[in-house]
Chains A and B, each alone.
Chain A
Amino acid sequence: MNQGITLLPPAASAAARSTDRLYLFLVGFSSLMALAIVAVMVWFCYRYRKGSRVDRSNAPTHGRGLEAAWTIAPFLVFMYLFAWAAHDYSRQFQAPGDALRVFVLAKQWMWKAEHSNGRREINELHVPINTPIKLVLASQDVIHSFFVPALRNKRDVVPGRYTVMWFQADRTGEYMLLCAEYCGTNHAEMKGRIIAMEPQDYARWLDGGADHPGLAERGYAIFRRNGCMGCHAAASSVHAPELSGLLGRRVHLADGSVVVADETYVRDSMVEPQKAIVAGYDAIMPSFKDQLDEEEIMAVIEYIRSLDTGRLMGERP
């Protein structure tokens, strides 16, 4: 009981404090409403108790104006609340382009994180403060939910798709990481820590653990091992889409639609290639659903991303 009872838990980001402001406004508004209505009820109950000598003449049975007023007034307040909350919410979905990417894999019952240079950790996530962090989350089994109370943020990690979540911590410290979506026996044990550090400390921490190859490098090995080069290498005789510079590019599909190639799109192209066929290409790509697990897919995506930073297809990164 080191903390006792508090109204607000620690807040580690500007977004968290912004949620707190809305929350406190709601607490104020609803307390006021509850107190006012209960006070009126109690007053009526007292004043008009049976046998009290008060004026009861002309008791109204309805009141059009009054009823209209207490229909419209709450509606206007509610719309104001909606606009405020929706504004904050939509900002939670707009990750800055230069955000630092970390892959997080959820599975029964642990969180595995992998940083860009290949440093991995379990049930811990080290992040630099004052830097936008974009988490790309995947689940290997059931639905989990990445919940950090100090950031006032959570996102369900749904298997079969990528979930993106971004935040920017601005205070160093250790914060609870919890799973908020019931996921089986040890749901309550699926917790860890977010360790927010000064950027230079983070850089030092990151270097300290690069004892295995980076994500992109492992991705390249997987790419080769699974024969992807056979079609996707520039020299290949098979007509397959060019992958360099793919992430973030607008892709024209055979059905006439245009999508922006994000992580989810690239992942779907590997596990469910028939879902979105690029315009001008035949639907000949096989599914790698049974060959690649989520961690390998993430590595391949990082490899593909590395292609647009100057290295050519087939060249060792």
Chain B
Amino acid sequence: MNIGRTAPSRTMPGGSSSSYLHDGYTLWSWLTSRDHKRIAILYALSITAFFFIGAVAAALMRLELVTPAADFVDADTYNRLFTAHGVIMVWMFLIPSIPSVFGNFVLPLMIGARDLAFPRLNLLSWYLYAFGGLFTIAALMLGGVDTGWTFYTPYSSVFSNTHVILTLAGVLIVGFSSILTGLNFIVTVHTLRAPGMGWMRMPLFVWAIYATSVILVLATPVLAITLLLLAAERVLHIGLFNPALGGDPLLFQHLFWFYSHPAVYIMVLPAMGVASEIIPCFARRPVFGYRFMAFAIIGIAVISFLVWGHHMFVSGQSVYASMVFSVLSFTVAVPSAIKVFNWTATLYKGSITFSAPMLYALGFVVLFLQGGLTGLFLASLAVDVHVTDTYFVVAHFHYIMVGGAVMAYLGAVHYWWPKITGRLYSEAWARTAALIIFAGFNLTFFPQYLLGYEGMPRRYHSYPDHFQALNVLSSGGAALLALGYLLPVAYLLWSLRRGARAPSNPWRASGLEWTTPSPPPQHNFDRPPDGSKPPYDYPPIGSTRK
């Protein structure tokens, strides 16, 4: 919690007092900073806090599910737990995670800019995020909300007696933070690239954040509208979704998923961007098929807007609509498959080392691959009828969002940690944590695929006896996973005090962010860097040994 205040005092001696960490030591200097790097740290601290709140909710759920009977928490508590877990993990952690932390910190450095295009707006985004977060925390403290993160009507608009409005307000406010951040990134990428950096010279991480920002700006307003309509029905009794008032519950689902399916790509596109930085660096090879990778990102972003109906194959939408959404859902899997093939091909004839960031990145590819393949099951109409709303779906989206996005987020943390803090962490501990997380994750979520096909519905606090064996496995995996997530907190905090000082480019990586000192000076670059080098400009292996 005190990375910001501890780090500067420890990094002082070198005399490199131009580091952004030395630009003031008071809390006030952090809370009023318009430096993209400091705002990134504010985000990192706040999303980490939310991650652990959401994780505690998950841990309590997994404890309850060890036995078939409802014995650890009662039904209402359980319903509040899975809602809190979903709302916090989706809106307070995953959506801001890579974009708001690493997009903020690294994107301007990568394109050779001194800051984002609108530094004040950037600070406002964080305040909106924190303010929205407070609403969510308040709802939680006052007794929670029990609608599920999907807020399906008419349950949420009429039947639930919990703090729906407070939670909606929190999510709505955080949504504005997303929109402003997205806008900031779009303008930054368009206007602040270093001289010589054409679009086809941008690192793929920049492409990914750019595509994500477009989705944030286009989709989030629809979420805001949907939540306001829901509030209008709940508070003012205007019949929109409640059939008793002449509304249609399915309208809500269409609106909600029109945002929430692209939101999945808000979470996973940045993860793909991270993998596309790390894998070339540790394979010492340019990313295979750069142009194809960039176009795949854009392709995914566009098609992601056209697949929302695959959440509704059994909800009463027309058979023909379902077929169209099914075709499009299979289609969006094609660019995702391309990316996996190209990452694999990047390894070919490389000179590969397995530092912690690489382990996380390879773990990401393997888990994302599994999540993607099981997505095919869900796009297959007849199979989806059986497995939708079961643990199969729970397993699938955790493979994408936790196995994929969180693994990549941790990869990014380990890859850019030396740049951000100027410190090196314990490589041995970092590798151990990566392996524990990979194993714990699979043990937690793979059994859930089997549970789902056997027919265990999601959001059950008690369940028929014959589902127990798989649930026990899953809860055991969750314990291992929890250990895996706590380890980095320990060794990363330790590195802030005791870690060796990081050179400006500890991984010998290409990319402009590695040309400034670690941690970077407040103004990033002394003079505008040259952006005309191709991305991933790793020299042919064997030719250099510098």
Contacts and interface: CB of A to CB of B under 8 A. Distances in A.
Contacts of A55: 349
A60 B326 contact: no
Given A60-B348, A147-B389, A181-B152, A88 B286 contact: no
Contacts of A93: 319
Contacts of A147: 389, 455, 457
A154 B450 contact: no
Question: Which one of A152, A156, A186 has the highest number of Cβ atoms from chain B below 10 Å of its Cβ?
Answer: A156
A86 interface: yes
Contact of A23 (B323, B377, B389, B465): B377
Contacts of A289: 244
Contact of B340 (A23, A37, A272): A37
Contacts of A87: 382
Contact of B460 (A49, A61, A188): A188
Given A18-B382, A88-B381, A188-B460, A154 B388 contact: yes
Contacts, number: 273
A185 B75 contact: yes
A179 B381 CA distance: 20
B59 interface: no
A52 to B, nearest CB: 8
B75 A160 contact: no
Given A1-B468, A159-B154, A185-B76, A56 B457 contact: no
Interface string B427-471: 000000000000000000000001001110111111111101110
A186 B70 CA distance: 11
B333 A74 contact: yes
A63 B289 contact: yes
A48 B351 contact: yes
A92 interface: yes
Contact of A82 (B76, B250, B380): B380
Contacts of B291: 62
A90 to B, nearest CB: 6
A257 to B, nearest CB: 16
B159 A141 contact: yes
B481 interface: no
Contact of B385 (A2, A153, A184): A153
Contacts of A5: 450, 469-470
A30 B347 contact: no
Contact of B455 (A9, A22, A163, A181): A9
B249 A160 contact: yes
Contacts of B334: 71, 74-75, 78
Nearest to A31: B373
A141 B377 CA distance: 31
A183 interface: yes
B350 A48 contact: yes
Contact of A185 (B79, B340, B457): B79
Interface residues of B, number: 96
Main secondary structure of the interface of A (DSSP, over half): mixed
Interface in A161-196: 161, 163, 176, 178-189, 191
Interface stretch (B101-109, B110-118, B202-210, B363-371): B363-371
Contacts of B381: 82, 85-86, 88-89
B23 interface: no
Contact of B386 (A1, A66, A149): A149
A158 B316 contact: yes
A61 B249 contact: no
A6 interface: yes
B289 A62 contact: yes
Interface in B60-112: 70, 75-76, 79
B493 interface: no
A45 interface: yes
A60 B344 CA distance: 13
A109 B70 CA distance: 17
A82 B347 contact: no
Interface in B452-510: 453-455, 457-466, 468-470
Contacts of B330: 78-79, 81-82
Given A34-B369, A61-B288, A161-B243, A26 B377 contact: yes
Contacts of A89: 313, 319, 322-323, 381-382, 385
Nearest to A93: B319
Nearest to A90: B319
Contact of B351 (A30, A50, A90, A187): A50
Contacts of A2: 465-466
A64 to B, nearest CB: 9
B338 interface: yes
Interface of A: 1-9, 18-19, 22-23, 26, 29-30, 33-34, 37-38, 40-41, 44-45, 48-51, 55-56, 59-63, 66-67, 70-71, 74-75, 78-79, 81-82, 84-90, 92-93, 108, 141-143, 145, 147, 149-150, 152-156, 158-161, 163, 176, 178-189, 191, 272, 289
* List of 8 A-B pairs having minimum Cβ-Cβ separation, nearest first: A160-B243, A149-B455, A89-B381, A88-B382, A85-B380, A3-B466, A59-B349, A30-B373
